[in-house]
């Protein structure tokens, strides 16, 4: 009877609100690492309990975007990061907060590798699949096929051939592991423009209170060359409204972001070497006709802004 009750409890679906980003999971996933802080938050007899927000979701005051990798790790006990992931230090900080030491080791091990790889914690440091040439350390076990080693060897040969032919190396020098060192902050990356636009308003209190409480954004729009947009915004970029898929050399004005944090978008642009060169705004009261159900006071503060970023 008790076993049945415990099993039912572990399969309970939970709704989470992590820094404003919503997730659905079950107790089994959150308790996967029993000694972790997140497991303690949802333990039956823990003194530290997760609180609920106004809508009944369990609220955790952490980075909601990065939490997806924490949750993926708890689900699969391995870490898969997208290409050109630039927030490993912040992800490590989140792993440390949730008391996930194995995940911290995996992140440290993955920091020496540029390509999209999957890591899982492994105490077997003598495994043939471990990376020994890059100083990975941390017990990280590389779960990628032999193609990675072959690619590194081919890269070393190509670089050597380019240097000896007198034509100069197009790929630049390679380190001891056969991989090219990371490029300079801006010079080795493509130049171009990205335009960020958003339509928003300000929310007001009830009963006619006119104090502006917080900014409301419906959507952050991204315009520019497809390859640049993907490079900067990675998996936060939503391409679902773009009818033309695949070609990265074209331009589009139909991308938007999966979140509504304007400052996060600016941070990602700054990390990729973009600087703000121009901006414009419509001012408030730009909504035109008020639709049924809209707050008339709020509609007075509708506005549209655009920001143009350049990387030379």
For the chain, domain boundaries: 2-142, 192-286+294-311
| Other CB atoms within 10 Å distance of the CB of residue 201 | 22
Q: Would you say residue 260 has pLDDT above 60? A: yes
Reported pTM? 0.41
What local confidence, expressed as pLDDT, does residue 143 receive? 41
> Does the pLDDT value for residue 5 go beyond 50?
no
Span 206-235, average pLDDT: 81
| pLDDT of residue 178 exceeding 80 | no
**Whole-number pLDDT of residue 177:** 45
Secondary structure letter of residue 149 according to DSSP: H
Options 3.40.50.300, 3.30.1200.10, 3.40.50.620, 3.30.710.10; CATH for 2-142 is 3.30.710.10
Strand order in the sheet with 118-121: 79-80, 118-121, 140-142
Mean pLDDT confidence for 148-171: 49
Q: 131-140, 158-167, 268-277: lowest mean pLDDT where? A: 131-140
Backbone angles phi, psi at 161, to 5 degrees: -65, -40
Which is more confidently placed, 211 or 14?
14
Confidence band of 108 (pLDDT split at 50, 70, 90) = confident
- How many other CB atoms are there within 10 angstroms of residue 257's CB atom? 22
pLDDT digits (tens, 9 = 90+) for 279-306: 998 877 765 666 666 666 677 778 889 9
Average pLDDT (93-116) is 81
Beta bridge partners of 197: 221, 306
Assess whether pLDDT exceeds 60 at residue 48: yes
């Amino acid at each position: 009877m008790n076993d049945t009750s415990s099993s039912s409890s572990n399969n309970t679906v939970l709704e989470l609100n992590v820094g404003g980003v919503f997730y659905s999971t079950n107790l089994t996933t959150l308790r996967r690492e029993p000694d972790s802080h997140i497991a303690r938050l949802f333990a039956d007899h823990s003194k530290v309990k997760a609180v609920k927000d106004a809508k009944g979701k369990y609220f955790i005051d952490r980075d909601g975007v990065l939490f997806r990798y924490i949750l993926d790790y708890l689900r699969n006990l391995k870490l898969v990061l997208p290409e050109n992931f630039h927030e490993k230090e912040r992800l490590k900080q989140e792993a440390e907060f949730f008391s996930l030491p194995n995940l911290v080791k995996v992140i440290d091990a993955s920091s020496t590798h540029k390509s999209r790889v999957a890591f899982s914690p492994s105490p077997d440091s003598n495994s043939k699949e471990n990376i020994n040439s890059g100083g990975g350390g941390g017990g990280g076990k590389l779960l990628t096929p032999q193609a990675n080693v072959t690619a590194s060897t081919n890269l070393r040969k190509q670089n050597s051939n380019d240097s000896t032919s007198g034509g100069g190396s197009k790929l630049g020098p390679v380190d001891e592991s056969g991989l090219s060192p990371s490029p300079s902050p801006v010079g080795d990356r493509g130049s171009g423009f990205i335009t960020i636009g958003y339509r928003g308003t300000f929310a007001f209190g009830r009963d006619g209170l006119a104090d502006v409480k917080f900014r409301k954004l419906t959507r952050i729009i991204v315009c520019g060359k497809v390859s640049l947009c993907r490079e900067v915004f990675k998996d936060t970029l939503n391409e679902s409204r773009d009818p033309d898929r695949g070609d990265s050399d074209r331009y589009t004005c139909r991308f938007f972001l999966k979140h509504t944090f304007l400052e996060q978008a600016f941070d990602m642009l700054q990390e990729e070497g973009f600087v703000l060169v121009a901006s414009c705004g419509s001012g408030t009261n730009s909504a035109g006709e008020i639709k049924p159900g809209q707050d008339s006071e709020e509609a007075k503060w509708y506005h549209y802004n655009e920001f143009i970023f350049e990387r030379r």
